[in-house]
Structure 1
Amino acid sequence: MDTEAQHTERDRTSGPDEGAAQERSRSARFSRLVRRGGGRSPGGTAWQRIGSRVSLRTAALTGAVCTVVVLLFSHFVVQPFQIPSSSMEPTLQVGDRILVNKLAYGTDSRPARGDIVVFDGRGSFVQAELTENPVSSVVREGLAALGLAEPADTDFVKRVVGTGGDRVVCCDDEGRIEVNGAPVDEEYLHPGDAPSEVAFDIVVPAERLWVMGDHRSNSRDSRDHLGDPGGGMVPVDRVIGRADWIGWPAGRWTSLEPTGAFRHVPPPSGVVGGHG
């Protein structure tokens, strides 16, 4: 008690400048402790909890908004598409993520010979009534839209070989496919593959496509559905978009340039202008 009394007495006799200096020194030490975490202002813990909750809500809201933006962009503009098989090798390899341009075709632009397209094969490559569990379908579509899952069993990627009105024949004396009487040198084919081991002679109906894989010996395409309803032809309105880029893996980043294989193909009989 004596010590406290003496301390009180000394405070009373201190000059006003000395007291103010002591007060500033104490405030400075307190501020440094608070900044270092060694001190805690009244109610500091509660404010920290509130700030943490606000930060979590902000992060969750930001993540949700970003996800919605990505899904909308994927649905309407460019969609990642994971390659599940080797049917398009060597152009596309298993595990590639291609970016499908959904704005490539419209009223003034149609799929052209040589284009690599992704399409819904229901009614041409698979049964139209093929269904999937609604819950798993939503989850899969969401992951597929982000390029994190394989596409639906009803989605396919192939190369357009014939468009509406074209006569596509296999094969000429040199084993090449002919389109409207012109042989096509398909430089994109898998090494060692013949253009086709199956003979065919078809005329593509209007608003339909004849499509084939680049790995002809390992591709189920229009040739395999000649006897099915629709004759293996894909309706143009079932085309999801054109594959324009390989986006993943990083070592395969590239744009998918148009092929010149069909540049010498004439338009089909009775049609003015070409298809590609």
Structure 2
Amino acid sequence: MTGADAVGVDDDIPDRKIPSWLRETAILVVVALVLSVLLQTFVGRVYLIPSESMEPTLHGCDGCTGDRIVVDKISYRFGEPRRGDVVVFRAPTSSWNVGYSSTRSTNPVAHALQDAGSWIGLVAPDENTLGKRVVATGGQTVQCCDDRGRVQVDGQSIDEPYVVMDFPFVPDSLTCTTAPESGRCFGPVTVPAGNLWMMGDNRSGSADSRAHVSDELSGTVPVDDVVGKARLIVLPPSRWGVIASR
């Protein structure tokens, strides 16, 4: 018996090679996943609006299909947020986390799959992110209200056409000097350097900077906690459009 016979060599068995189409498909999938991770991390990401705090600019509510928006992560690498920008940011202090709970499964396998899905944009990040409008920036003093119920920044009343829903304000009968006072009233608050004062467009239905003035940041949000600028509504199709800064 020869050596070849001893190890059972069979010249009739074909080589089992991976088909070229399968290798190419696997490479394309890996490249697509890597590109998706890079884009989601550094360029932009889709976020779901879960509440009505930015109505009517952004639609959302408990149990309904909220807007899905594209958040641009590049712009603020080259500049600072400005008054009027709609931004998404991470909760800066524990007071912003009241009522928030993680959406991750307690099952370790499912949790790992959710984390993986988050990296490629199929699952929401496991963090409390919020969408509001920048009303004042570092060094500015913000308060409400003037004699017409408008917000003031550095003593100047600002025009906010996007605010449709707000607390009542009635000159001479329900203002910031009457008892009771209007629910619009707050401040003055001087925004620390590097921070922002955030408010929802739905002023009577938004737990924004006004609701957190007693925390260690006086309700302001550090620019470092800003994820990016909200640019587009992409879903549902009936809501497609640009999110304008004012």
* TM-score, normalised with respect to structure 1: 0.66
Give the corresponding residue for 1:114.
84
Match of 1:244 among 226, 231, 240: 231
SS at match of 2:34: helix
**C-alpha contact 1:84 1:150 (8 A) present in aligned 2:** no
Which structure has the larger Rg? 1
**In structure 1, what residue type is equivalent to 2:86?**
I
The offset of 1:258, in angstroms, is 2.0
Partner Cα distance (1:89, 1:144) in 2: 27
Partner Cα distance (1:85, 1:144) in 2: 21
Gaps of 5+ in 2: 1-11, 61-65, 169-181
For residues 192 and 155 of structure 1, do their structure 2 counterparts lie closer, same or farther at Cα, with a shift above 3 Å needed? Answer: closer
**C-alpha contact 1:162 1:209 (8 A) present in aligned 2:** yes
The offset of 1:143, in angstroms, is 3.7
For residues 146 and 114 of structure 1, do their structure 2 counterparts lie closer, same or farther at Cα, with a shift above 3 Å needed? Answer: farther
Match of 2:27 among 53, 57, 61: 61
The offset of 1:256, in angstroms, is 1.6
The offset of 1:185, in angstroms, is 2.5
Match of 2:167 among 183, 194, 209: 194
Flag the structure with more relative contact order, 1 or 2, with Cα contacts below 8 A and sequence separation at least 6: 2
For residues 227 and 168 of structure 1, do their structure 2 counterparts lie closer, same or farther at Cα, with a shift above 3 Å needed? Answer: same
**C-alpha contact 2:149 2:184 (8 A) present in aligned 1:** no
Kindly tell me the number of residue pairs found equivalent between the two proteins.
209
Tell whether 2:170 aligns with 1:204: no
Partner Cα distance (1:186, 1:81) in 2: 24
The offset of 1:171, in angstroms, is 1.1
**C-alpha contact 1:161 1:211 (8 A) present in aligned 2:** yes
SS at match of 1:172: coil
* TM-score, normalised with respect to structure 2: 0.73
**In structure 2, what residue type is equivalent to 1:233?**
T
For residues 194 and 186 of structure 1, do their structure 2 counterparts lie closer, same or farther at Cα, with a shift above 3 Å needed? Answer: farther
Give the corresponding residue for 1:174.
148
Match of 2:67 among 96, 102, 115: 96
Partner Cα distance (1:61, 1:159) in 2: 42
1:33-44 equivalence runs, <5 A: none
SS at match of 2:33: helix
Identity of aligned residues (%): 43
Give the corresponding residue for 1:225.
212
Root-mean-square deviation (CA), in Å? 3.0
Larger helix proportion, structure 1 or 2? Answer: 1
Gaps of 5+ in 1: 1-42, 260-276
